[in-house]
Amino acid sequence: MNKPLLLAWVTSIIAMGGSLFLSERMGFIPCTLCWYQRILMYPLVIFLGIAFYRNDHGIYKYILPVSVIGIIVSSYHYALQKIPSLHEFATCTSGVPCSGQYINWFGFVTIPFLALIAFTIITIMMLMMMKRK
């Protein structure tokens, strides 16, 4: 069994489930950057699931670019939320502001922070698979 691949897949499932729960059950409307993060995360559930089922050790070639882009988008989004001087650079011009925070657990855990953690875990697992190859 390929544990890094399994952990990456489970992480993507939890991230997707969490985002759907927050929007569909809690009623939190996703901003533009939240949608970009979803666009990057949701396909990972399918690709990592297929790779785990097939025991495909070469999947890291396809997942790493997506997860690294996810880290960049999530980091930017988190910075928009936490650094007030960046609010003027927010890409969300209509609807929900990207600087808005539906949750702020412990003073630092927001939705983009959770996405950042998920993308980071997936990236680390893919780097572990790449190193093993």
- Taking only the tens place, the pLDDT of each residue in 9-66 is 999 999 999 999 999 999 999 998 999 999 999 999 999 999 999 999 999 999 999 9
Look at residue 89 and tell me whether its pLDDT is greater than 70: no
Count CA atoms within 13 Å of residue 87 on its CB side. Answer: 9
Going from the C-alpha of 6 to that of each of 3, 16, 80, the distances in angstroms are: 5, 15, 32
Q: Which residues constitute the domain of residue 50?
A: 3-132
Q: What is the mean pLDDT of residues 75-86?
A: 88
Strand segments, DSSP code E, in 1-133 are none
Nearest alpha-carbon partner for 34 in 77, 84, 65, 64: 77
Q: What is the mean pLDDT of residues 64-85?
A: 93
Angle at 31 between CA 26 and CA 35, to 5 degrees: 95
Its pTM stands at 0.92
Name residue 105's beta-bridge partners: 109
Across 44-54, b (16+ Cβ under 10 Å) vs e yields bbebbeebbee
Q: How many domains does the chain have?
A: 1
